Amino acid sequence: MSTDILMPALSPTMEEGILAKWFIKAGDTVRSGDVIAEIETDKATMEVEAVDEGVVEAILVPEGTEEVKVNTPIARLSGGETKPVVVPTVPVIATPVVTVSPAMLAPAPLETATDRGGRIFASPLARRIADQKGLDLSSIRGTGPHGRIIKSDVETAIPGAPKVTEQPRPAPVAVPVLPMAPRQAQSLAQMGIADGSYDLVPLDGMRKTVARRMTDSFRDVPHFPLTIDLNIDGLLAARAKVNGILEAQGIKVSVNDLVIKAAAVALKQVPEANASYSPEGIALHHHADIAMAVAVEGGLITPIIRSAELKGLAQIATEAKDLAVRARSKKLKPEEFQGGTFSISNLGMFGIKAFASIINEPQGAILSVGAGEKRAIVVGDQLAIATMMTVTLTCDHRVVDGAVGARWLQAFKVLIEDPITMIV
């Protein structure tokens, strides 16, 4: 008897992933607990262990296949049999090969129901409506069970991605731009950029996630920025002092670590700002779980310092460093980057003076931290020199109103400018 190994869900929200690497091949004997494959999701790369034992009968999804849906059979084990294993010779096509003329080139849709052996899973009614509307099922995202395309998917689909006809026309034909077509459904050729004048980098999981989450947030969350200047001379002095104390332990506290701590304490002082909007009500979070944006190759990720308001600077510095290192090597566990209550993005190291980040849903606010720089300021009636840093709080107006955001910034300013208040 043979057992199928299914594409595992590495997090509760994972729907698909990239089968990055196989550590087994047909004929290998696998024991429960053996690492058999490496799966890459939009946020992390994880190793998969075998649950069942047996001899690998076949690898069903080849290495490097993208958009492998959760629960798709990816390999087949024969239950502990020792006789020679016959590998099926039927080629398994994980990504359907479709002939598309260059003019039809359109960015791949986020998800399609085509990933299981090339068959498109769609209800009979969805197929018929798609046919009547001239829609290409392979360009439609299925929302039914296991990603099956159902009637409502087809009814809401816009004929943006042209249908691939059975007999492709020899010459590229200009595709009419439909007035209702969403921007991303237009090809670059349609927008006047000639083919061959660029290299096309395929969208990986992370890029798709960034694109989707940022588009959704910027479009759907009513957001506004609040900007304030902070004098960080006191903070820098405090940092020097703290680092002197921690030197022996080999810990170095960065300005960013102090910003994390101050933000967490400010959230405790103004709990209304530590909130998430949901249709069921406003969630007021008990702890300040601070997500810090970390640039990684090909995108960014936001690992989380949990309950940062309760943690000392040394601990925050250690955790932040560890999370950043593992984020860059894509070794974070899902629970380490999912579910923060407030985000901080710092572009100060690039000399950026001020910027306004996009809300990281469902968090109620995100703080954008600019560069610390010496500026001329007015003290009393005198010009003076001080190290100043500009920060901008982007607020989700559904939960953080202007006055709440302003009060939070006030609290934050006091904490940054007089760091000793952080330990009160």
Partner 1 sequence: MDFDVIVIGSGPGGYVTAIRASQLGFKTAIVERELLGGICLNWGCIPTKALLKSAEVYEQLGHLGDYGLKVEGASFDFDAVVKRSRGVSTQLNAGVAFLMKKHKIEVIEGYATLEKGTAAPKVVVALKAGGSRSLTAKHVILATGARARTLPAIGLVPDGERIWTYREALVPKAAPKSLLVIGSGAIGIEFASFYCALGSDVTVIESLPRILPVEDEEVSKAAQKAFEKRGLTFRVSATVKSLRATKTGVSLDLDTAGKTETLSADVAIVAVGIVGNVEDMGLEALGVQIERTHIVTDGHGATGVPGLYAIGDVAGPPWLAHKASHEGVHCIEHIAGLPSSNLTAPIPGCTYSTPQVASIGLTEAQAKEEGIEIKVGRFPFRSNGKAIASGETEGFVKTVFDAKTGALIGAHMIGAEVTEMIQGYALAMTLEATEAELHATVYPHPTMSEAMHESALDAFGKVLHI
- Binding site residues, partner 1, CB under 8 A: 12-13, 123-126, 128-129, 132, 144-145, 150-152, 279-281, 283
Which CB, 96 or 144, lies closer to partner 1?
A: 144
C-alpha 344/C-alpha 356 separation (Å) is 11
User: Which one of 223, 285, 286, 397 is the catalytic residue?
Assistant: 397
C-alpha 65/C-alpha 21 separation (Å) is 9
CB of 144 to partner 1, least distance (A): 7
What is the Cα gyration radius of the chain?
A: 26
CB of 278 to partner 1, least distance (A): 9
CB of 140 to partner 1, least distance (A): 14
Which CB, 57 or 153, lies closer to partner 1?
A: 153
Pairing between strand 304-305 and 16-22? unpaired
C-alpha 330/C-alpha 326 separation (Å) is 6
> In Å, what is the CA distance from 201 to each residue of 107, 186, 298?
10, 17, 11
Does the bond joining 362 to the residue before it have cis omega, within 30 degrees of 0?
yes
Q: Which of 88, 154, 146 is nearest to 119 (CA)?
A: 146
Which CB, 157 or 175, lies closer to partner 1?
A: 157
Q: Which of 284, 232, 305 is nearest to 404 (CA)?
A: 284
H or E stretch covering 67: strand 65-69
CB of 309 to partner 1, least distance (A): 19
CB of 372 to partner 1, least distance (A): 40
Tokens 């990281």, located at residue? 360
Q: Is 397 a catalytic residue?
A: yes
For residues 343 and 313, the answer to whether their CB atoms sit within 8 Å is no
C-alpha 345/C-alpha 370 separation (Å) is 9
Which CB, 48 or 126, lies closer to partner 1?
A: 126
b/e string for 380-403 if b means 16 or more Cβ within 10 A? Answer: eeeeeebbbbbbbbbbbbbbbeee
b/e string for 4-28 if b means 16 or more Cβ within 10 A? Answer: ebebbbbbeebebbbbbbbebeeeb
Which CB, 87 or 283, lies closer to partner 1?
A: 283
Find how far residue 96's CA is from the centre of its chain: 26
CB of 113 to partner 1, least distance (A): 13
Which CB, 84 or 281, lies closer to partner 1?
A: 281
Residue 56 has which token pair?
């690998």
Which CB, 81 or 220, lies closer to partner 1?
A: 220
Residue 61 has which token pair?
């999804």
DSSP 8-state assignment for residue 108: P
C-alpha 76/C-alpha 62 separation (Å) is 12
Which CB, 140 or 317, lies closer to partner 1?
A: 140
Burial of 72 (0-12, 13-18, 19+ CB in 10 A): buried
CB of 124 to partner 1, least distance (A): 5
Q: Which residues are catalytically annotated?
A: 397
